[in-house]
Amino acid sequence: MLGQRDPGHYGTLTLVDIDQRIAEAADAHGVDVECFQSNHEGELIDCLQAQRGDIDGVVVNAGALTHYGLSLKDSLTDAGVPVIEVHLSNIHAREEWRRRSVLADTVRGQIAGLGWRGYTAAVGALAGIIADEAS
């Protein structure tokens, strides 16, 4: 629903637009990315489990699952790689229930409120973390 749902909070770019910008950021940092979106927690978990051992890091926007997705949290932890949590809007400046992330204590960091730029910032940060930990 990106580009259509509440553009004041989530912007006007579509998912395809954002995925393209993520790919460009990945190229600039010399890393490969695979973008995956689902409205179903189980599909997100299945994707993470299928990639286990083949990925070096994860950038995740868990949407509403941020606030209650304990199975997703477990799957991100089990992946055993650095994770950066991204939110298009500033969840800390919104409704009280949005301010709590069940993922927060398992991720390396959070980027919130930068719109689509949060994803490209996360790609750069994650590429740096992975490079630092490989050396």
Catalytic sites, residue numbers: 10, 87
Q: Residue 50 to residues 45, 79, 106: CA-CA distances in angstroms?
A: 8, 10, 20
Contact between 69 and 103 under an 8 Å Cβ cutoff? The reply is yes
